[in-house]
Amino acid sequence: MMRSLYSGVSGLKTHQTKMDVIGNNISNVNTVAFKASSVTFSSIMYQTLSSASGANTEAGTGGVNAKQIGLGVTTGSTAVNITGPGASETTGLPFDLKITDKSTSSFFIVNNGAENVFTKAGSFYVDGAGNLCMKSTGYTVMGWGLDPATGTIRKDTVGPLKIMSAENQTSEPEATTQARCTGVVDNNNTQVTSPTGTVMNLTIYDNLGYPYTARFSIQAQDVKGGKYAVNLTDIIDEKGNSILTSNVSLNALFGPTAGDGQGTCTDVTENYKFAAGKSKTNIQIAVQNAAAINAGANGTPKYTYYFDAADINAQLGLTGELALPDGYRLSYTSEKMVYSDVMDELKKGGKVNVLDATGKVVGQGSATTNIPAVNGYSDKGVKWTFQSGTVDASGNFQADTNNKFTFGDNGLTKILTLDDYTSNGTVVTADDGTTGYKFKVGDIRSLLDLDQTEFPDDDAEIYYWPTLVNGQTVQLTTASGTPLSFTSNSDTAKVFSEDNPPVVKSIPRKYAGPEEILKDYSYTTITGGDLASATKETGQIFTEELPSDMELRYNLFTGSYTINTPLKDGFTLQFDTVEGTLKSIGGGDNMTQTLNLSALTAAGFNAFQDVKIDFSTLLNCNNGGTNTASMKGGDAGGAGKGKKLGSLTGLSVDQSGKIFASYSNGNTELLGQIAVAQFANASGLEATGDNCYRATLNSGEFDGIGVEIDADGSSITSGELEMSNVDLSGEFTSMITTQRGFQANSRIITVSDTLLEELINLKR
């Protein structure tokens, strides 16, 4: 009787234990990474009333089973479903981490100040000391730091992950070391074929992280031959100021060695502005000062006047073999700087040199008096004859036998008719649809040599009808439309009006001899270095000092000027004229050239590194007239781009547990790695509360080092948390069966009590 009472009591206790576990599971249904427990029952030892007996063959009796009565139930074990994953909850927070196990159950390692414990709850944050910690307890997350020698993860004994420190608040700047020029050069693009070329900018950084802009240009040299010039034109700082001085030449920064003949002269006038109180007048004064500084032995200043090949070819109509190559110049030297004096000297037979793109004399000629008769109009002109050859050590010219540059039959002359001045006129249409041009006498008097006394009215209008009277008809009227007549050069042409009969008169035209051409195209030069010397006392002319080999071209006769890069500046791009791919830059099979920024040391800039520029992917083909050639920092993978000093902008954790810092300069730096612990029997871990577990003799030991999470294919997901793995439907079902068991055991006690009561009643 008493046995049943005790059995019922044990049943009540055991089912209460199970109910406690169920209650704990349900209460932690929303606890991060909580692992549900379950209870198994075990029967208590049995009381044997009689032992079993075997069969007796002699007596012919069978065996008898033992007679045993159980003494109740007890808790056999409580098991934690520690390997069962919980559902994922997305939080978006970078240090909310979820372990996704592949084959082995892994645990974050945290330290409570006394020992390392283990958890699946990856809700972490960075505390005030910069350590990665558990939000709920403040336990520090353990992992591996960096080897200071290699910058890689050093997998030794785990330690606190200090991911916020003074050292990693900024990322060190990097100097630019590599760049590439990509895109398409289209010769239909007007900028490519312009005198200044198309502009490309490259952002470069020095070792201190200061940004600068290197300006390049690509300019057509020989379109049919697939040749283009790429030049460095300037380097400017963040404020837009050039950092180049007279101590630094552009050719030293980006250009071939002397005598290579690479590149072209690029107009960069717009990059330089006059200093306060300075003007073109100061340029002429500087030219005169430089000439005096460089005067010969007799102390007389010398001025060298130049013509570019392109101008000479155009004015003389030279093409093919007779044309001077691009980049060539004609030069002559005189002690005169007054226009008329220079002309007189030149007409007497001054020596004229032919210079190649590097300034080397490759030919000489003479300028002799020539009086051509052009349609009855005579004037003095200059007829030049040039021969190719070399100049020996004594200064004597030795002509080549082929005389490639002999064009003595070409006089420097040109006839200008009204056709040449249509750009000054207004297009008009007659009643019959004939198209012509209208000019005011005052606007073109000097162009056509109209006599002031014969035509005093500047508002009188000239109408030019190209399609009438053998293709050239001129009508002169007053501003009110009254027809006028005029004479020019004693010849006749036609004045056409409806009210007056035609009068044949000559077409106004003007002979343009060498004076006009020389006046427009002649210039003398002064380099940046000479300009600095010439303005030493009076102060530099421009707000930024010109580099030493920059060339300032000044026309003493017209007062116009340009600032140009050196003739030998830059490199020639040679494209395959069939495929459009680049064959070389600077000759040979070169596909790269170096921007020698180390040369800026002469200007006081010591923090630059040389930049290797790759041109191999540049193309020359039809792109609809659109030029896409551009400079980009870094190689194809972005290496060597250079960076400014970066400030910390964010932290992140990848799937292998590596912690990275992101910086404003684009850098991403490794700070450490979260280590995990794995156990032979994870279910053998002992729960210590706070979602943490401790190693036991039955779980296996932790070696103090840990393993990488992805060693077995497992991973860490950032921005997610593992939720409880409690199955509510299962728990409620277990709660029902537990309740029924508890009720049944309570009935055992009730019935046993009734039986005992009946037994006691027998005494009565």
One DSSP character per residue, 510-573 reads EEE-HHHHHHHH-EEEEEHHHHHHHTTTT--SBSSPPPTT-EEEE-TTT--EEEE--TT-SEEE
Name the residue with higher pLDDT: 479 or 760.
760
Start-to-end Cα distance in the chain: 20
Q: Which of 20, 8, 80, 2 is nearest to 44 (CA)?
A: 8
Name the residue with higher pLDDT: 508 or 545.
545
What is the Cα–Cα distance from 184 to 629, expressed in whole angstroms? 5
Q: Which residue has the tokens 């997305």?
A: 90
- Please give the average per-residue pLDDT across 534-562, as a whole number: 89
Q: What is the pLDDT of residues 57-77, one digit of tens each?
A: 888 788 888 777 777 788 877
pLDDT beyond 80 at 126 = yes
Provide the pairing of β-strand 619-620 with 184-185: parallel
Helix (H, G, I), strand (E, B) or coil at 443: helix
Q: Would you place residue 418 in the very low, low, confident or very high pLDDT band (cuts 50, 70, 90)?
A: low
What is the Cα–Cα distance from 153 to 168, expressed in whole angstroms? 16
Q: Exposed/middle/buried for 671, CB within 10 Å: 0-12, 13-18, 19+?
A: buried
Least confident of 12-16, 513-517, 603-607: 513-517
Least confident of 343-357, 471-485, 735-749: 471-485
- As given in the structure block, the two tokens for residue 468 are 């009438």
- As given in the structure block, the two tokens for residue 215 are 């300006």
Strand positions, DSSP E, 206-288: 211-222, 227-236
Residue type at 586? G
Least confident of 33-47, 57-71, 108-122, 406-420: 406-420
Residue 746's H or E segment, with its range, is: helix 728-761
pLDDT beyond 60 at 730 = yes
Residues with Cβ within 8 Å of 485's Cβ and at least 6 positions away in sequence, in order, are 476, 495, 503, 505
- Please give the average per-residue pLDDT across 441-446, as a whole number: 76
Name the residue with higher pLDDT: 705 or 547.
705
**For 742, phi and psi rounded to 5 degrees?**
-65, -45
Name the residue with higher pLDDT: 125 or 50.
125
Q: What is the pLDDT of residues 467-494, one digit of tens each?
A: 544 444 555 555 555 655 544 333 333 3
What is the Cα–Cα distance from 309 to 466, expressed in whole angstroms? 33
Q: Exposed/middle/buried for 296, CB within 10 Å: 0-12, 13-18, 19+?
A: exposed
Residues with Cβ within 8 Å of 470's Cβ and at least 6 positions away in sequence, in order, are none
CA atoms within 13 A on the CB side of 35: 24
Q: Which of 475, 445, 481 is nearest to 463 (CA)?
A: 475
What is the Cα–Cα distance from 352 to 382, expressed in whole angstroms? 12
Give alpha helix (H) positions in 231-329.
250-253, 280-293, 309-316
- As given in the structure block, the two tokens for residue 81 are 């479903």
pLDDT beyond 60 at 39 = yes
The answer to whether the Cα torsion of 473, 479, 481, 483 is positive or negative is negative
Total residue count of the chain as it appears in this document = 764
Task: Answer for the pair 514, 259: CB distance below 8 angstroms, yes or no.
Answer: no
Contacts 24+ apart (CB under 8 A), 422-431: 422/464, 425/464, 428/463, 430/465
What is the Cα–Cα distance from 122 to 404, expressed in whole angstroms? 84
- Please give the average per-residue pLDDT across 258-265, as a whole number: 62
Q: What is the pLDDT of residues 266-293, one digit of tens each?
A: 888 888 899 999 999 999 999 988 888 7
For residue 50, the cross-strand partners are 67
Task: Answer for the pair 532, 263: CB distance below 8 angstroms, yes or no.
Answer: no
Q: Which of 738, 742, 755, 741 is nearest to 5 (CA)?
A: 755
CA atoms within 13 A on the CB side of 518: 25
Percent helix / strand / coil, the chain, rounded to 5: 20, 35, 45
| pLDDT of 490 | 30
Give the C-alpha distances (Å, rounded to integers) separating 646 from 168, 172, 210, 348, 650: 10, 7, 12, 69, 12
| pLDDT of 384 | 65
| pLDDT of 479 | 55
Q: What is the pLDDT of residues 589-645, one digit of tens each?
A: 999 999 999 999 888 899 999 999 999 999 999 999 999 999 999 999 889 999 999
| pLDDT of 515 | 66
Q: Would you place residue 125 in the very low, low, confident or very high pLDDT band (cuts 50, 70, 90)?
A: very high
Give the C-alpha distances (Å, rounded to integers) separating 596 from 546, 605, 609, 760: 18, 12, 8, 115
- As given in the structure block, the two tokens for residue 558 are 């017209």
- Please give the average per-residue pLDDT across 640-664, as a whole number: 92
Task: Answer for the pair 386, 409: CB distance below 8 angstroms, yes or no.
Answer: no
- As given in the structure block, the two tokens for residue 722 are 């593992």
Provide the pairing of β-strand 97-100 with 715-718: antiparallel
Average pLDDT, the chain: 81
Task: Answer for the pair 452, 472: CB distance below 8 angstroms, yes or no.
Answer: no
What is the Cα–Cα distance from 584 to 470, expressed in whole angstroms? 54
pLDDT beyond 80 at 366 = no
pTM for the whole thing?
Answer: 0.61
The listed range with the strongest mean pLDDT (31-45, 198-212, 297-311) is: 198-212
| pLDDT of 270 | 82
Least confident of 306-315, 532-541, 647-656: 306-315
CB 279: neighbour CB atoms within 10 A?
Answer: 11
Q: Would you place residue 496 in the very low, low, confident or very high pLDDT band (cuts 50, 70, 90)?
A: very low
Residue 344's H or E segment, with its range, is: helix 339-347
**For 392, phi and psi rounded to 5 degrees?**
-80, 180
| pLDDT of 491 | 35
Name the residue with higher pLDDT: 710 or 472.
710
CB 40: neighbour CB atoms within 10 A?
Answer: 10
| pLDDT of 506 | 44
Helix (H, G, I), strand (E, B) or coil at 662: strand
Provide the pairing of β-strand 397-399 with 381-391: antiparallel
What is the Cα–Cα distance from 14 to 18, expressed in whole angstroms? 6
Task: Answer for the pair 535, 565: CB distance below 8 angstroms, yes or no.
Answer: no
Q: What is the pLDDT of residues 164-196, one digit of tens each?
A: 888 888 999 999 999 999 999 998 898 888 777
For residue 555, the cross-strand partners are none
